[in-house]
Copies of this chain bind each other. A is one copy, B any other.
Amino acid sequence: MAELRSRLWAAQAGPLTVDSGEMCRFAMYLGPPIKLSALVTEPSNSIIHQSYDAQEREEPLNGDGFGVAWYVPELRDEPAVFKSISPAWNNANLLNLAPVTRSHCLLAHVRAASPGLAVAQVNCHPFVRERFAFMHNGSVGGFARLRRRLRERLSDLAYDAIAGSTDSEHVLALLSDRWLEALEPDPLERAALALRETIELLEHLRAELDIEEPSYLNLAITDGAAAMVCRYVSPGPDPAHSLYYARGALVVEDGKSRIDAPKSDGPAVVVASEPLGDRSRWEAVPRNHLVLIDDQRRVNLREI
């Protein structure tokens, strides 16, 4: 009967309810204000260029939507967010917004859904919850199987906030519940604690259901002032997805971006799936490590 049922339902072509952020690229900037164009549209080695020519992936294609978020604290605590299911490299609105948008905290994400999966604006990163912006590159191993159990663990608040069908938004839901429940007063420590508990829960569910596929959790979350970044893969032989960070000044010259030594207006911290320009100033985030960036842009690495 179970088989009959799945045969019965399996026939529908089109959007499945499970979606993954596996084949994505992201970048986050915190520092002296820069234009969005310096991060996403001007440099030929930007995240957008990576969207059709990523170097460190087998499938060099991220044409299934993108999103950018940025903070304008004098006007609103919540970040602005702009998302689209059209490919980033041909979005006229993005090309027009990027040069007139300036911020000290910017996020950008390009997304590649697997062929056959649903492409919808609600599934594009970054996801915003109040003053937080969040994005994910990777996938929750066996998400289709553990999704329902995962949802049962959520508070009504986090449950109701899920608007799309990505595993990523479910990870954010777990994370926000843990964050709201944690007693730790320091915000970054609280985030680190919440993330650790989130990963533990996900691994617990994987174990419970004998799921073999590893989870890949390259995450970035910020409130516009501080940020936490994570590079994680489940225990086993599989390598984590690539993730790098750099500290200095993000400079764009002759259509290329690079990291220079910090300038007088203070250092910036940039995190990206692949180095933006010359690798010499970029460091790989070690496997299963957190990067904690405080509101002075001091960087702290820590094993998860």
Starting from the known contacts A82-B93, A95-B116, A118-B163, 17 additional A-B residue pairs (CB-CB under 8 Å) come to A8-B130, A12-B78, A12-B161, A13-B99, A14-B96, A15-B122, A15-B163, A52-B63, A52-B115, A61-B61, A76-B100, A80-B96, A80-B99, A82-B96, A83-B92, A97-B97, A147-B160
Known: A11-B130, A61-B52, A78-B11. A89 touches B115 (CB 8 A): yes
- One complex includes copies of this chain to the number of 4
Chosen A-B contacts, 26 in total, with CB atoms closer than 8 Å, are A2-B157, A8-B129, A9-B161, A11-B130, A13-B92, A13-B96, A14-B96, A15-B163, A15-B164, A16-B163, A17-B161, A52-B115, A63-B63, A76-B99, A76-B100, A80-B97, A82-B93, A82-B96, A83-B93, A85-B86, A86-B119, A89-B115, A92-B118, A120-B120, A147-B160, A148-B160
B130 touches A9 (CB 8 A): yes
| A297 CB–B CB distance under 8 Å | no
A34 to chain B, nearest CB (A): 11
A58 to chain B, nearest CB (A): 11
A92 touches B64 (CB 8 A): no
